[in-house]
């Protein structure tokens, strides 16, 4: 259906926008924590990481030739510090570094249980995968919802236990919720939070339901919309 494709396009654009902000915030946090860590100089952790992850090291080295970051890679020539290695890593490889650091230096704010979900939905959006159309697609695997995410949903007004159990089993809904939650947790700017959730709320309340009559008989889409809308309303209220 053309309408679903159009809505999907708008959602993919928003997902890219939000996940880029998440990536920036996570990089800033990692650099800040490392700089403030008297046991690290910013270089040794990267050297250890690349040694323990040769495939990542190879991908970085390959950027010496054809890459937007080739100048930086050639200039540094394997003498990476944490504040410049993050500029040349893909988001997936950055997540490996992020987890590597916080495994060595545990933190209650490492968000390991949410990173894969955010990466997955970002990749889906970047590759123009159909997001809405997969809401009812049978999955050949069972996902294990983030317990942190399920607990959070329990605090959202109007969302019950049965709804959480059902919706969190869908990878799309789970990963989209994880993205919203992580964005709220790691974004330093209250102004950015407010504007982002205002824009998302506007998208959901206006363009997404512009032709709502098309979906009046699709209970799955309707209940999913209501579930996501309650979460967005919650974050929007917290950001004002």
Whole-prediction pTM:
0.91
> Do the domain assignments include residue 95?
no
Torsion sign across C-alpha atoms 193, 229, 126, 97: positive
Q: What is the pLDDT of residue 44?
A: 96
- CA 101 to chain CA centroid, nearest Å: 19
Q: Is residue 213 part of a domain?
A: yes
Given this model, what pLDDT does residue 138 score?
Answer: 47
Domain membership of residue 54 (yes or no) is no
In a domain? residue 136: yes
Tally of structural domains, the chain:
1
Q: Is residue 143 part of a domain?
A: yes
52 inside domain:
no
Two tokens, residue 154: 């329990």
Distance set, CA 208 to CA 91, 104, 233 (Å): 29, 44, 15
Range of the domain at 170: 2-37+105-239
End-to-end CA distance of the chain: give it in Å, rounded.
36
Query: Which of helix, strand or coil describes residue 196?
Result: helix
Nearest Cα neighbor of 175 from 215, 104, 134, 115 is: 115
Instruction: Judge whether 84 lies within some domain.
Output: no
In a domain, 86, yes or no: no
Per-residue pLDDT of the chain (240 residues; tens, 9 = 90+): 678 888 889 999 999 999 999 999 999 999 999 999 999 999 999 999 999 999 999 998 888 887 788 888 888 877 899 999 999 999 999 999 999 999 999 987 788 889 999 999 999 999 988 887 766 654 545 678 889 999 999 999 999 999 999 899 889 999 999 999 999 999 999 999 999 999 999 999 999 888 777 777 777 888 899 999 999 999 999 998
């Amino acid at each position: 259906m053309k309408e679903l494709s159009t809505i999907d396009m708008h959602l993919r654009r928003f997902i890219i926008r939000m996940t880029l902000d998440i990536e920036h915030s996570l990089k800033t946090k990692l650099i800040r924590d490392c700089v403030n860590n008297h046991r690290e100089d910013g270089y040794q952790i990267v050297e250890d990481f690349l040694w323990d992850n040769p495939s990542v090291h190879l991908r970085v080295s390959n950027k010496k030739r054809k890459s937007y970051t080739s100048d930086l890679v050639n200039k540094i020539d394997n003498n990476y510090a944490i504040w410049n290695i993050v500029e040349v890593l893909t988001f997936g490889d950055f997540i490996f570094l992020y987890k590597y650091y916080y495994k060595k230096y545990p933190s209650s704010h490492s968000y390991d249980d949410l990173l894969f979900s955010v990466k997955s939905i970002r990749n889906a959006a970047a590759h123009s995968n159909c997001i809405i159309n997969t809401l009812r697609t049978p999955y050949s695997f069972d996902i294990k919802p983030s317990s942190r995410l399920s607990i959070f949903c329990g605090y959202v007004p109007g969302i019950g236990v049965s709804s959480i159990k059902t919706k969190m089993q869908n990878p799309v809904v789970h990963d989209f919720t994880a993205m919203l939650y992580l964005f709220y947790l790691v974004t330093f700017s209250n102004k950015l939070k407010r504007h982002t959730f205002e824009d998302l709320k506007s998208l959901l309340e206006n363009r997404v339901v512009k032709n709502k009559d098309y979906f009046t008989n699709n209970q799955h889409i309707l209940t999913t919309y209501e579930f996501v809308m309650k979460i967005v309303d919650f974050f929007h209220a917290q950001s004002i």
